[in-house]
Chain A
Amino acid sequence: SYVLTQPPSVSVAPGQTARISCAGNSIGSKSVFWYQQRSGQAPVLVVSDDSDRPSGIPERLSGSKSGITATLTISRVEAGDEADYYCQVWDTSRDHVVFGGGTKLTVL
């Protein structure tokens, strides 16, 4: 089955830039979505179709894709950005949704 690989954790100091990767075969042909999940809360969609932002999501959060890797970039990181982040695609070969394992972002 299709696999999306994320680093378990990323740490960054306030004001710096955090980059969270999501690797998968043929990811270039798929739309990638990113979710933010703060502790004890439901996930929130923060990036759609690789790089679009749903209404209400700050411009500091952005998505990109190159080769077999999609990346969520969070600029000027704030304490409130501390959360788990998940990437997700629709796998057309097996007709199912696939989530990455998640990355815990720690703000130092």
Chain B
Amino acid sequence: QVHLQESGPGLVKPSETLSLTCNVSGESISSTSYHWGWIRQPPGKGLDWIGSIFYTGSTHYNPSLKSRVTISVDTSKNQFSLKLTSVTAADTAVYYCARDLYHSVHPAAFHIWGQGTMVTVSS
């Protein structure tokens, strides 16, 4: 059974870089043709897609965040990561990692989710 687990600091200072990792177990990222994504949810608000990465390293990003986001994959560790630069209080949210539903040339939908990790941006 595939399991995703987010990890990283729960508190980040304004203007610094938010860094999270999603560890995948039960399935090899490099042997499956899925997209792996990051989605966030500010407190009391809706879901906001950040971006997705294919096992080859090909990425798709939310246009509204593209200038600040980098998603990378480390197949040797079976994990993928998120970096979000120049954070502000508006980036405070629960951050989820997720695996796509389909083997597809672009992200489609999110079938398997991590439990989420709360990140607060504050000095």
Inside 8 A of B52's CB, which chain A residues have their CB?
97
Pair B60/A95 contact, Cβ less than 8 Å: yes
Pair B101/A48 contact, Cβ less than 8 Å: yes
Pair A101/B46 contact, Cβ less than 8 Å: yes
Pair A42/B47 contact, Cβ less than 8 Å: no
Most chain-A Cβ atoms within 10 A of its Cβ — which of B46, B96, B111? B46
Pair B63/A1 contact, Cβ less than 8 Å: yes
Assess A86 versus B47: contact at CB under 8 Å? Given A42-B116, A45-B110, A96-B63.
Answer: yes
Q: Chain A nearest CB: distance from B24 CB in Å?
A: 15
Inside 8 A of A54's CB, which chain B residues have their CB?
101, 111
Most chain-A Cβ atoms within 10 A of its Cβ — which of B52, B63, B109, B115? B109
Distance between Cα atoms of A95 and B61 in the complex (Å): 8
Chain A, 77-105, CB within 8 A of any chain B CB: 84, 86, 88, 90, 94-102
Q: Chain A nearest CB: distance from B88 CB in Å?
A: 21
Q: How many A-B residue pairs have CB under 8 A?
A: 61
Pair A45/B111 contact, Cβ less than 8 Å: yes
Pair A94/B63 contact, Cβ less than 8 Å: yes
Q: Chain B nearest CB: distance from A51 CB in Å?
A: 13
Chain B, 8-48, CB within 8 A of any chain A CB: 37, 46-48
Distance between Cα atoms of A97 and B106 in the complex (Å): 10
Pair A43/B62 contact, Cβ less than 8 Å: no
CB closest residue in chain A, given B104: A90
Pair A99/B48 contact, Cβ less than 8 Å: yes
Distance between Cα atoms of A100 and B62 in the complex (Å): 14
Inside 8 A of B64's CB, which chain A residues have their CB?
1
21 contacts between A and B (CB under 8 A): A31-B108, A33-B109, A35-B110, A42-B113, A42-B115, A43-B110, A44-B113, A45-B109, A45-B110, A45-B111, A48-B109, A54-B111, A84-B46, A86-B46, A86-B47, A96-B49, A96-B63, A97-B37, A97-B107, A99-B49, A102-B46
